[in-house]
Amino acid sequence: MSDSKRPEPPEGPMCLTRRSFLSISVLAGAAALGTPAIARSAQGQGSPEFKGWPKSYGMLTDFTACVGCRSCEKACNEANRMPAPEKPFDDASVFEESRWPSATAYTVVNRYKNSADSSRPLFRKIQCNHCLEPACATACPIHAYTKTPEGAVIYNKDLCFGCRYCVVACPFNIPAYDYSSPLDAKIVKCILCFGRIKEGKIPACAEACPAGALTFGRRADLLKLARKRIIDSPEKYIDHIYGEREVGGTSWLYLSGVPFEQLGFPTNLPEKPLIELSKGYLSTVPVIFTTFPAIFGMVYAVMRHNERAAGKEERSKQHKEVDHE
Protein backbone atom coordinates (compact mmCIF):
# COMPACT_ATOMS: atom_id res chain seq x y z
CA MET A 1 0.00 0.00 0.00
CA SER A 2 1.48 3.29 -1.01
CA ASP A 3 1.97 6.02 1.56
CA SER A 4 -0.19 8.45 -0.33
CA LYS A 5 -3.15 6.14 0.03
CA ARG A 6 -2.93 6.08 3.77
CA PRO A 7 -6.02 7.20 5.57
CA GLU A 8 -6.03 10.62 7.16
CA PRO A 9 -5.59 10.33 10.90
CA PRO A 10 -8.95 10.27 12.59
CA GLU A 11 -9.96 13.37 14.44
CA GLY A 12 -11.51 11.19 17.08
CA PRO A 13 -8.99 11.24 19.90
CA MET A 14 -8.86 14.98 19.91
CA CYS A 15 -12.62 15.27 20.26
CA LEU A 16 -12.99 12.84 23.13
CA THR A 17 -13.61 14.48 26.43
CA ARG A 18 -12.20 13.10 29.62
CA ARG A 19 -15.68 12.38 30.89
CA SER A 20 -16.74 10.45 27.82
CA PHE A 21 -13.54 8.50 28.10
CA LEU A 22 -14.34 7.56 31.65
CA SER A 23 -17.77 6.40 30.74
CA ILE A 24 -16.48 4.14 28.00
CA SER A 25 -13.34 2.99 29.74
CA VAL A 26 -14.89 -0.22 30.99
CA LEU A 27 -16.05 -1.12 27.51
CA ALA A 28 -12.69 -0.23 26.01
CA GLY A 29 -10.93 -2.20 28.70
CA ALA A 30 -13.08 -5.20 28.04
CA ALA A 31 -12.45 -4.93 24.33
CA ALA A 32 -8.74 -4.83 25.01
CA LEU A 33 -9.03 -8.18 26.74
CA GLY A 34 -9.91 -9.82 23.49
CA THR A 35 -7.81 -7.68 21.15
CA PRO A 36 -4.10 -7.07 21.46
CA ALA A 37 -3.72 -3.41 22.34
CA ILE A 38 -1.43 -3.09 19.40
CA ALA A 39 -4.13 -3.78 16.86
CA ARG A 40 -5.40 -0.36 17.82
CA SER A 41 -1.98 1.07 17.05
CA ALA A 42 -1.36 4.77 16.80
CA GLN A 43 -3.86 6.13 14.30
CA GLY A 44 -3.81 2.91 12.36
CA GLN A 45 -0.21 3.25 11.24
CA GLY A 46 1.02 0.00 12.70
CA SER A 47 1.71 -1.79 9.42
CA PRO A 48 5.31 -2.78 8.77
CA GLU A 49 5.65 -0.86 5.52
CA PHE A 50 4.52 2.49 6.90
CA LYS A 51 7.29 5.01 6.28
CA GLY A 52 5.66 8.15 7.59
CA TRP A 53 3.27 10.63 6.11
CA PRO A 54 4.34 11.81 2.69
CA LYS A 55 5.72 15.35 2.71
CA SER A 56 5.76 15.40 6.50
CA TYR A 57 8.11 17.86 8.17
CA GLY A 58 11.08 17.10 10.32
CA MET A 59 14.17 18.67 11.79
CA LEU A 60 17.84 18.06 11.17
CA THR A 61 20.22 18.73 14.04
CA ASP A 62 23.84 19.01 12.97
CA PHE A 63 25.97 18.63 16.07
CA THR A 64 29.07 19.72 14.20
CA ALA A 65 27.52 23.17 13.88
CA CYS A 66 26.10 23.61 17.39
CA VAL A 67 28.00 26.12 19.54
CA GLY A 68 26.03 25.61 22.75
CA CYS A 69 24.58 29.11 22.81
CA ARG A 70 21.25 27.87 24.27
CA SER A 71 19.26 30.24 22.03
CA CYS A 72 17.06 27.27 21.17
CA GLU A 73 16.26 26.65 24.84
CA LYS A 74 15.40 30.29 25.33
CA ALA A 75 13.19 30.40 22.24
CA CYS A 76 11.38 27.23 23.38
CA ASN A 77 10.81 28.72 26.80
CA GLU A 78 9.33 31.87 25.29
CA ALA A 79 7.24 30.12 22.63
CA ASN A 80 5.68 27.85 25.24
CA ARG A 81 5.20 30.72 27.68
CA MET A 82 7.09 28.99 30.45
CA PRO A 83 8.39 30.74 33.53
CA ALA A 84 11.94 32.07 33.37
CA PRO A 85 14.42 29.45 34.62
CA GLU A 86 16.39 29.84 37.84
CA LYS A 87 19.63 30.38 35.96
CA PRO A 88 19.57 32.66 32.91
CA PHE A 89 20.03 31.18 29.45
CA ASP A 90 23.53 32.55 29.05
CA ASP A 91 24.70 30.81 32.21
CA ALA A 92 27.19 28.08 31.28
CA SER A 93 27.12 26.50 34.75
CA VAL A 94 24.07 24.47 33.70
CA PHE A 95 26.46 22.43 31.55
CA GLU A 96 28.12 21.08 34.68
CA GLU A 97 25.32 18.59 35.11
CA SER A 98 23.50 16.49 32.57
CA ARG A 99 19.95 17.76 32.19
CA TRP A 100 16.89 16.16 30.64
CA PRO A 101 13.69 17.62 29.14
CA SER A 102 11.16 18.31 31.86
CA ALA A 103 7.79 19.91 32.45
CA THR A 104 9.47 23.30 32.60
CA ALA A 105 11.87 22.85 29.67
CA TYR A 106 10.76 20.80 26.66
CA THR A 107 14.28 20.99 25.28
CA VAL A 108 17.70 21.16 26.93
CA VAL A 109 21.27 21.41 25.64
CA ASN A 110 23.96 19.33 27.32
CA ARG A 111 27.72 19.57 26.97
CA TYR A 112 29.91 16.54 26.18
CA LYS A 113 33.61 15.84 25.81
CA ASN A 114 34.73 15.84 22.19
CA SER A 115 36.71 12.75 21.31
CA ALA A 116 37.49 14.12 17.85
CA ASP A 117 38.83 17.48 19.05
CA SER A 118 39.67 17.83 22.73
CA SER A 119 40.10 21.59 22.38
CA ARG A 120 36.37 22.20 22.04
CA PRO A 121 33.39 20.51 23.66
CA LEU A 122 30.32 19.14 21.91
CA PHE A 123 26.73 20.02 22.59
CA ARG A 124 23.58 17.99 22.20
CA LYS A 125 20.09 19.44 22.12
CA ILE A 126 17.53 16.94 23.44
CA GLN A 127 13.78 16.92 22.83
CA CYS A 128 11.05 14.58 21.54
CA ASN A 129 12.15 12.90 18.31
CA HIS A 130 8.64 12.76 16.84
CA CYS A 131 8.87 9.10 15.85
CA LEU A 132 7.19 8.06 12.61
CA GLU A 133 5.46 5.31 14.58
CA PRO A 134 5.46 6.66 18.10
CA ALA A 135 5.56 4.10 20.88
CA CYS A 136 4.05 6.69 23.22
CA ALA A 137 0.94 6.87 21.06
CA THR A 138 0.63 3.11 20.88
CA ALA A 139 1.03 2.68 24.60
CA CYS A 140 -1.49 5.35 25.51
CA PRO A 141 -4.69 3.49 26.41
CA ILE A 142 -6.91 6.43 25.54
CA HIS A 143 -5.24 7.69 22.37
CA ALA A 144 -4.25 11.00 23.86
CA TYR A 145 -1.39 11.15 21.32
CA THR A 146 -1.64 11.83 17.60
CA LYS A 147 1.05 11.55 14.96
CA THR A 148 0.01 14.37 12.66
CA PRO A 149 0.53 14.26 8.89
CA GLU A 150 2.79 17.30 9.43
CA GLY A 151 5.15 15.11 11.42
CA ALA A 152 4.62 16.43 14.93
CA VAL A 153 3.56 14.01 17.65
CA ILE A 154 1.04 15.98 19.65
CA TYR A 155 -1.10 15.05 22.64
CA ASN A 156 -4.30 16.08 24.27
CA LYS A 157 -3.47 17.12 27.79
CA ASP A 158 -7.12 17.07 28.82
CA LEU A 159 -7.41 13.39 28.00
CA CYS A 160 -4.28 12.32 29.88
CA PHE A 161 -5.20 10.70 33.16
CA GLY A 162 -1.67 10.04 34.30
CA CYS A 163 -1.13 6.30 33.71
CA ARG A 164 2.44 6.93 32.46
CA TYR A 165 2.41 4.13 29.88
CA CYS A 166 3.90 6.57 27.38
CA VAL A 167 6.76 7.38 29.74
CA VAL A 168 7.65 3.70 29.94
CA ALA A 169 7.12 3.06 26.22
CA CYS A 170 9.17 5.95 24.79
CA PRO A 171 12.56 4.62 23.69
CA PHE A 172 14.05 8.08 24.25
CA ASN A 173 12.61 8.68 27.70
CA ILE A 174 10.93 11.91 26.66
CA PRO A 175 7.42 12.42 28.08
CA ALA A 176 7.82 14.38 31.31
CA TYR A 177 5.47 14.70 34.19
CA ASP A 178 3.88 18.00 35.04
CA TYR A 179 3.18 17.84 38.75
CA SER A 180 2.10 21.47 38.99
CA SER A 181 -1.34 20.17 39.86
CA PRO A 182 -0.44 17.29 42.20
CA LEU A 183 -3.83 15.62 42.05
CA ASP A 184 -4.00 15.83 38.30
CA ALA A 185 -0.47 15.20 36.97
CA LYS A 186 -0.15 15.16 33.20
CA ILE A 187 2.53 14.39 30.67
CA VAL A 188 4.12 17.18 28.68
CA LYS A 189 6.69 17.24 25.88
CA CYS A 190 7.87 19.06 22.77
CA ILE A 191 5.19 19.15 20.07
CA LEU A 192 7.46 20.52 17.32
CA CYS A 193 5.68 23.86 17.75
CA PHE A 194 2.67 22.34 16.00
CA GLY A 195 0.69 25.55 16.40
CA ARG A 196 3.43 27.56 14.73
CA ILE A 197 3.73 25.04 11.88
CA LYS A 198 -0.01 25.35 11.31
CA GLU A 199 0.44 29.13 11.09
CA GLY A 200 3.13 28.66 8.44
CA LYS A 201 5.99 29.43 10.82
CA ILE A 202 8.88 27.18 11.71
CA PRO A 203 9.53 25.81 15.21
CA ALA A 204 10.86 28.45 17.58
CA CYS A 205 14.15 26.65 18.30
CA ALA A 206 15.01 26.40 14.61
CA GLU A 207 14.14 30.03 14.05
CA ALA A 208 16.42 31.08 16.90
CA CYS A 209 19.46 28.93 16.14
CA PRO A 210 22.13 31.25 14.73
CA ALA A 211 24.52 28.46 13.83
CA GLY A 212 22.45 26.55 11.31
CA ALA A 213 22.55 23.56 13.66
CA LEU A 214 18.76 23.19 13.44
CA THR A 215 17.17 22.91 10.02
CA PHE A 216 13.41 22.54 9.67
CA GLY A 217 12.03 21.14 6.44
CA ARG A 218 10.40 18.18 4.76
CA ARG A 219 11.87 15.01 6.22
CA ALA A 220 12.62 13.61 2.77
CA ASP A 221 14.54 16.78 1.83
CA LEU A 222 16.38 16.78 5.14
CA LEU A 223 17.55 13.22 4.54
CA LYS A 224 18.95 14.28 1.16
CA LEU A 225 20.57 17.33 2.73
CA ALA A 226 22.11 15.25 5.51
CA ARG A 227 23.44 12.71 3.06
CA LYS A 228 24.93 15.48 0.93
CA ARG A 229 26.73 16.93 3.94
CA ILE A 230 28.26 13.54 4.72
CA ILE A 231 29.33 13.06 1.10
CA ASP A 232 30.73 16.59 0.79
CA SER A 233 32.68 16.43 4.09
CA PRO A 234 33.37 12.79 4.96
CA GLU A 235 36.16 13.92 7.30
CA LYS A 236 33.70 15.96 9.33
CA TYR A 237 30.84 13.50 9.83
CA ILE A 238 30.42 9.91 10.85
CA ASP A 239 28.49 8.03 8.17
CA HIS A 240 25.20 7.76 10.00
CA ILE A 241 22.01 9.81 10.00
CA TYR A 242 20.52 9.05 13.40
CA GLY A 243 16.75 8.84 13.17
CA GLU A 244 16.66 7.71 9.56
CA ARG A 245 15.98 4.14 10.63
CA GLU A 246 16.00 3.94 14.43
CA VAL A 247 12.70 2.57 15.75
CA GLY A 248 11.23 2.78 12.26
CA GLY A 249 12.48 6.34 11.72
CA THR A 250 11.95 9.61 13.53
CA SER A 251 10.98 13.02 12.19
CA TRP A 252 13.97 14.50 14.02
CA LEU A 253 17.26 13.57 12.34
CA TYR A 254 20.82 14.03 13.54
CA LEU A 255 24.31 14.38 12.10
CA SER A 256 27.42 14.08 14.24
CA GLY A 257 31.17 14.14 14.01
CA VAL A 258 31.56 11.54 16.75
CA PRO A 259 29.75 8.21 17.30
CA PHE A 260 26.28 8.87 18.67
CA GLU A 261 26.82 6.87 21.86
CA GLN A 262 29.39 9.49 22.88
CA LEU A 263 26.55 12.00 22.91
CA GLY A 264 24.41 9.75 25.05
CA PHE A 265 22.15 8.46 22.26
CA PRO A 266 20.74 4.97 22.63
CA THR A 267 22.45 3.06 19.83
CA ASN A 268 21.03 -0.38 20.51
CA LEU A 269 17.56 0.44 19.20
CA PRO A 270 15.95 -1.79 16.62
CA GLU A 271 15.25 -0.50 13.14
CA LYS A 272 11.72 -1.73 13.31
CA PRO A 273 9.10 0.40 14.99
CA LEU A 274 8.51 -0.67 18.54
CA ILE A 275 4.87 -1.13 17.62
CA GLU A 276 5.90 -3.76 15.12
CA LEU A 277 8.15 -5.60 17.55
CA SER A 278 5.69 -5.54 20.37
CA LYS A 279 3.11 -7.19 18.10
CA GLY A 280 4.98 -10.48 18.22
CA TYR A 281 5.71 -10.05 21.86
CA LEU A 282 2.11 -9.36 22.59
CA SER A 283 0.98 -12.50 20.88
CA THR A 284 3.15 -14.54 23.24
CA VAL A 285 2.47 -12.61 26.42
CA PRO A 286 -0.79 -10.88 25.78
CA VAL A 287 -1.90 -11.06 29.36
CA ILE A 288 0.10 -8.24 30.91
CA PHE A 289 -0.22 -5.72 28.17
CA THR A 290 -3.76 -6.33 27.13
CA THR A 291 -5.34 -6.91 30.47
CA PHE A 292 -3.50 -4.19 32.28
CA PRO A 293 -5.25 -1.25 30.62
CA ALA A 294 -8.51 -3.10 31.01
CA ILE A 295 -8.03 -3.76 34.69
CA PHE A 296 -6.69 -0.30 35.24
CA GLY A 297 -9.59 1.22 33.34
CA MET A 298 -12.14 -0.82 35.23
CA VAL A 299 -10.68 -0.04 38.63
CA TYR A 300 -10.59 3.62 37.73
CA ALA A 301 -14.16 3.59 36.45
CA VAL A 302 -15.41 1.70 39.48
CA MET A 303 -13.69 4.15 41.78
CA ARG A 304 -15.21 7.07 39.93
CA HIS A 305 -18.55 5.32 39.98
CA ASN A 306 -18.34 4.83 43.73
CA GLU A 307 -17.23 8.41 44.18
CA ARG A 308 -20.15 9.63 42.15
CA ALA A 309 -22.58 7.32 43.94
CA ALA A 310 -21.25 8.58 47.24
CA GLY A 311 -21.64 12.14 45.99
CA LYS A 312 -25.20 11.44 44.92
CA GLU A 313 -26.05 9.88 48.24
CA GLU A 314 -24.57 12.86 50.00
CA ARG A 315 -26.55 15.22 47.83
CA SER A 316 -29.84 13.34 48.26
CA LYS A 317 -29.20 13.24 51.99
CA GLN A 318 -28.78 16.99 51.97
CA HIS A 319 -31.94 17.33 49.91
CA LYS A 320 -33.84 15.23 52.38
CA GLU A 321 -32.54 17.28 55.25
CA VAL A 322 -33.65 20.41 53.47
CA ASP A 323 -37.06 18.85 52.78
CA HIS A 324 -37.31 17.94 56.37
CA GLU A 325 -36.75 21.46 57.50
Partner 1 sequence: MKKHIEKAPSLLACVVLGLVAVAAGSPSWGDVKKIPDVIILKDIQNRYGPVTFDHKKHTTLAENCGICHHTHAKKTYETCGDCHTQAAKILKAAANGMLMPCSGCHGEYSPETPGMPDLKVALHKKCFTCHVGMGDLGESPMGCVNTCHTRK
How many residues sit close enough to ligand SF4 to count as binding (CB under 6 A)?
28
The residues in 130-159 that bind ligand SF4, with binding defined as CB under 6 A, are 130-131, 134-136, 153
- Closest to 262 in 3D by CA, of 246, 232, 240: 240
Decide: 214 and 252 in contact? Cβ < 8 Å: no
- Closest to 75 in 3D by CA, of 99, 106, 100, 121: 106
Residues that bind partner 1 (CB under 8 A): 57, 60, 65, 67-71, 89-92, 95, 119-121, 202, 207, 209-212, 215-218, 221-222, 225, 228
| Stretch touching ligand SF4 by CB under 6 A, among 21-29, 47-55, 170-178, 257-265 | 170-178
Torsion of CA 76, 79, 83, 86, to 10 degrees: 30
Helices 286-324, 18-34: axis angle to 10 degrees equals: 140
| Site membership for ligand SF4, residue 38 (CB under 6 A) | no
Task: Return the bridge partners of 155, or none.
Answer: 145
Decide: 219 and 59 in contact? Cβ < 8 Å: no
CB of 172 to partner 1, least distance (A): 23
Binding track, positions 237-266, relative to ligand SF4; x by CB under 6 A: ------------------------------
| Site membership for ligand SF4, residue 208 (CB under 6 A) | yes
| Site membership for ligand SF4, residue 278 (CB under 6 A) | no
**Which residue ranges make up the site for ligand SF4 (CB under 6 A)?**
66-72, 109, 123, 125, 128-131, 134-136, 153, 170, 172, 174-175, 189, 208-209, 211, 213-214
